[in-house]
Structure 1
Amino acid sequence: MNLQRARYLVALADEKSFTRAAVEMHVAQSALSQQIKVLEREVGVTLIDRRGPRISLTAAGEVAVREARFLLASADRAVQRIRQAAAGLEGELRVAHTRSWAGGVIADLINEYRRTFPEIEVSVYRGWTTRNADLAAEGSIDVAVIRPPIDSLSLIVRILESEQLLIAVPESHPFAGHRTIDRDALIDQPVVFWPRENGPGMYDRIVEQLWPKASPTVVRNEADDEQVLYAVAAGVGIAPIPRGRALTFRVPGVHLCEVAGPPMTLDVGIAYRPDNPNPALQCFLALIGNQPSGRVAGPT
C-alpha cells in the first residue's frame, strides 16, 4: 500500500467525508477520490461504500484502514529510529500495561530489559485490554499487556502467568465469616462489576468460572477494580477480583474469599504484531524466550 494513499484512506475514515478529508489533506476532492479508486483497484476490492448520504467503510475497508494505520505508524517509527540513530540513541520500546495487572513476571521482565538494554528507552502507558490490543494492532505501541483471550487476527498472544480469582464481599455480609464459599452460593447475589467492553475475554472467563449456569446479577458497573472494591465496602454487592489487585488496594471494609473447589484463575499475557520491525521489540521477545513459564497462544 502506497504511504500517501494510506494517509488519504485514514483521513477519509476519520472524517467520513471526501470533502472534509480533502481539506484535511490539503488536496482537491477529485484528487483524493481518484487516489482512493486507485487503491481499490490495487487491492482488487471495494473499500468505500458510497451509496448512502454518508460514506462508510466496507468490511474490507475496515481491515484496510487498520493496516493503513499500522503502515503509517511503522513509517513514522522508522523515521524516528533513524533520527535516534543519528543522535547516538538506540531506539524505544513502547509498552501498554493493563490496569488490572502491573506486577509479577511482566514487571520483572521490564526491569530486566532496562538493565540488559540500558540504551533503549522504555515508554510505559496504561489502559484497558481492548484499547491496548487496538494500539498494538495499529502500531502505536510495541507490547500490549492484556488479559486473554482477545479477538485479533493480527496479534500474537503470549501468556506469561496466571493469578487466583477471589470474591470480595462487604464485612457485614454473611460470606465475611467464611474463608471459602461455594460457587452455587453466588447465584442471585448482587454483583459489582466493570464494563465488559474493557476486556471481553477476561469478563467472559470470570463469568464462565463463577456463574456457569446463569448470568451474574450485576447491580453496578464501576470504572476499575479500585472503585469496584470501594462499592463492595459500601455494601453495594459482592465482586470478583484478581488476587493481585485486591491485595494491592486493601480497601477497608472488604473481606476476601476463595471459591471452593479447583482454583479459579485469570491469565495475564502480552500481545504484539509479528510483523512489527522494531528491533527493540525483538530484544524483548528474546528476553521472554528465556522464561520457562511463557506460553504462546497465537492469533485468536
Structure 2
Amino acid sequence: MELRHLRSFVVTAEELHVGRAATRLHLTQPSLSRQLAALERDVGVPLFTRVKRRFGLSPAGEVFLGAAREIVRRADEAARDAQRAHRGELGTLRLRFVQSATFEALPRLLVAFRAAYPDVALDVENMTTLRQVAALRAGEADVGLLRPPISEPTLNTRVVSRDPLVAALPARHPLAERESLPLAALADESFVLYTRAFGPSVQDSIIGHCLAAGFSPRVVQEAAGVQTIVSLVAAGLGVSLLIAPTPPTAEQSVVYRPISDDLPLWELALAWSADSPSPVLSRFLAVAEQAEQAGQI
C-alpha cells in the first residue's frame, strides 16, 4: 500500500469526481484511476461505488477514509518535522555549563535561543570544564559553556565573556566596609576555595595570584559549587576568591568586593566539536554570536 495511493484516495473521496480529483493531484484521469484500482487491490475490497455514472464511496470506503486521512496527515507532519529538524528548528540541544555561567551568560543565551527557536528541546546540565570536554569529545553533548584553557584539538571555542576575580567576605567582616581591596589585604584570612575537582587550573591560578601578592592562602575548606562556597563564607568559615559573576545573596550575609590588583580576566567560552553534524547546534551558535554582537551576553 503506497502513500501516494492513499493521498489520491483521500482527494478523490473529497471530490467524488475523478476529473476534479485528478486536477487537484496534477495527474491524468487514467493515471489516477490506475492508482485507485491498485489501492483497492491492496485493501481487498471496493472503496468506491460506480453505479449508472454515479460515483461514490462504498461502505468500506467510508470507514477507510478516516484512517487514510490520518495516515496522510501524519506523513505530511512527519515530512514537515524532518525538514524543520534539517534546518535546526526542531530537535534537542544538549548544553552543558559551568556554574558561574548560570548567573548571566547562560540565562541570556537561553532566552535569546528560546525566542528564536521555541520548538527545540533543551537538555541542560551543570558540569565542570573537565567533564564538559570529556562529554563533547565523546559526542554526549553538543555545546558547552566552560572556562578555558582546554587542551582538546577536536573542539572549537569562542569566548563570550571575560570575568574578574572578586573577594567574597562575610558581611560583618572589617574588609567589607571597603569598596575594593588588594589581594594582600587577605593575607591573614582563612580561605574557602574551589576544590581541585572543579578544575585544577582554577585553584592553581588563585593560589598563584596570592603567592604573587606575597602570601600563601590558608585553605580551611574546599567546595565544588560556588553556592556552597558562598554559604560557607556566610557561615564565617573564611573568605573566598570567586570568578564573577557571583550568585545573588543578601547583603547582610555575604558581600562581594572587586580586587584592585591587575589580575588577568577569566574567559568564559562556548565549546563544541568541529565535526558535529547537528543543525540545532549551528542555529544555537548563530544566536549566540548575534547576542554577543548586540551586547546581550
Question: TM-score with structure 2 length normalisation?
Answer: 0.62
Write out aligned runs for 1:11-30 (5 A): none
The offset of 1:266, in angstroms, is 2.4
Aligned partners of 1:168 and 1:255 also within 8 Å: yes
Aligned partners of 1:176 and 1:255 also within 8 Å: yes
The offset of 1:263, in angstroms, is 6.4
TM-superposition CA deviations, 1:220-243 (whole Å, max 9, x none)? 112311221221122211101234
Aligned partners of 1:98 and 1:129 also within 8 Å: yes
Cα distance in 1 for residues equivalent to 2:210 and 2:99: 22
SS at 1:267's partner residue?
A: strand
Seen in structure 2, the aligned counterparts of structure 1 residues 235 and 83 have a Cα distance that, compared at 3 Å, is: farther
The offset of 1:83, in angstroms, is 11
1:231 aligned onto 2:198? no
Seen in structure 2, the aligned counterparts of structure 1 residues 153 and 217 have a Cα distance that, compared at 3 Å, is: farther
Cα distance in 2 for residues equivalent to 1:100 and 1:176: 22
Q: How many residues align?
A: 212
Cα distance in 1 for residues equivalent to 2:261 and 2:108: 31
Structure 2: tracts of 5 or more residues without a match: 1-77
Structure having the higher Rg: 2
- Aligned residues with identical type, % of pairs: 26
TM-superposition CA deviations, 1:199-229 (whole Å, max 9, x none)? 2333334334444255422111123112212
TM-superposition CA deviations, 1:243-290 (whole Å, max 9, x none)? 4224x2337432322222446632211111111111111122223333
Cα distance in 1 for residues equivalent to 2:170 and 2:121: 43
Cα distance in 1 for residues equivalent to 2:268 and 2:140: 21
TM-superposition CA deviations, 1:9-37 (whole Å, max 9, x none)? xxxxxxxxxxxxxxxxxxxxxxxxxxxxx
Other-structure match for 1:182: 182
The offset of 1:112, in angstroms, is 1.8
Q: 248-257 or 173-182, which moves further after superposition?
A: 248-257
SS at 1:249's partner residue?
A: coil
Seen in structure 2, the aligned counterparts of structure 1 residues 122 and 172 have a Cα distance that, compared at 3 Å, is: closer
Cα distance in 2 for residues equivalent to 1:253 and 1:264: 28
TM-superposition CA deviations, 1:154-183 (whole Å, max 9, x none)? 222211012332111223433223222222
Aligned partners of 2:100 and 2:244 also within 8 Å: no
Write out aligned runs for 1:220-299 (5 A): 220-246=221-247, 248-250=248-250, 252-262=252-262, 265-290=265-290, 291-292=292-293
Structure 1: tracts of 5 or more residues without a match: 1-81, 295-300
RMSD of aligned Cα (Å): 3.0
Aligned partners of 1:228 and 1:239 also within 8 Å: yes
Cα distance in 2 for residues equivalent to 1:83 and 1:198: 44
Question: TM-score with structure 1 length normalisation?
Answer: 0.61
Cα distance in 1 for residues equivalent to 2:136 and 2:288: 18
Cα distance in 2 for residues equivalent to 1:281 and 1:99: 21
SS at 1:100's partner residue?
A: helix
Seen in structure 2, the aligned counterparts of structure 1 residues 176 and 288 have a Cα distance that, compared at 3 Å, is: closer
Other-structure match for 2:162: 162
Cα distance in 2 for residues equivalent to 1:109 and 1:137: 23
Seen in structure 2, the aligned counterparts of structure 1 residues 252 and 225 have a Cα distance that, compared at 3 Å, is: farther
Give, as a single letter, the amino acid of the residue that structure 1 aligns with 2:240: A
